[in-house]
């Protein structure tokens, strides 16, 4: 598999990429967790070292590295681009950014089931 997708946020996100491969050994996400996650008395936690090594070894079967000399890319250049926005646009940017992080905080606190995107888009009902 060739992907430029990074494993964002959590180690368990690798399941989504593995699931794209035909013939992968996991029929469900729970099965994936059973093999790699740590059982924390009723919930799956981050893997302890032994299971981390198992996951790394498994993922290495899908990773191909090539020397940078085979693909010469230009260096990264950063440019600031100034632009003007109205006070109203600043207000909305701050408002929705705050709501986004509040929703993430609630989701990560274990309340479960919060759909961050729907919270952000459902502004008319609040």
Write down the pLDDT at residue 88: 95
The closest of 9, 53, 60, 15 to 33, measured between CA atoms, is 15
- Considering the domain architecture, whether residues 15 and 55 belong to the same structural domain is answered as yes
- Considering the domain architecture, whether residues 49 and 17 belong to the same structural domain is answered as yes
Token pair, residue 116, equals 């961050």
- Considering the domain architecture, whether residues 16 and 49 belong to the same structural domain is answered as yes
From first to last of its 126 residues, what are the pLDDT tens digits of the chain?
Answer: 555 556 667 888 888 888 888 888 888 999 999 999 988 877 888 888 999 999 988 888 877 666 666 667 677 788 889 889 999 999 999 999 888 888 877 766 654 444 444 544 454 444
Structural domain containing residue 20: 11-66
Model confidence, pTM? 0.47
Identify whether the C-beta of residue 59 lies closer than 8 Å to the C-beta of residue 14: yes
Crossing angle between the packed helical segments 49-60 and 29-36, to the nearest 10 degrees: 120
Report the domain count for the chain.
2
Task: Give the span between the Cα atoms of 58 and 73, in whole angstroms.
Answer: 29
Q: Is residue 82 part of a domain?
A: no
């Amino acid at each position: 598999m060739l992907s430029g997708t990074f494993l964002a946020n959590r180690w368990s996100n690798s399941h989504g990429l593995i699931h794209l491969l035909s013939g992968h050994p996991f029929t469900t996400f729970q099965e994936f967790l059973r093999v790699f996650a740590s059982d924390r008395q009723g919930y799956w936690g981050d893997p302890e070292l032994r299971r981390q090594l198992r996951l790394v070894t498994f993922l290495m079967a899908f990773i191909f590295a090539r020397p940078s000399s085979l693909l010469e890319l230009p260096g990264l250049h950063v440019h600031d681009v100034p632009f003007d926005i109205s006070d109203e646009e600043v207000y909305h940017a701050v408002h929705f950014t705050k709501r986004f992080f509040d929703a993430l905080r609630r989701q990560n606190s274990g309340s479960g089931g919060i759909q961050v995107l729907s919270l952000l888009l459902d502004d008319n009902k609040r």
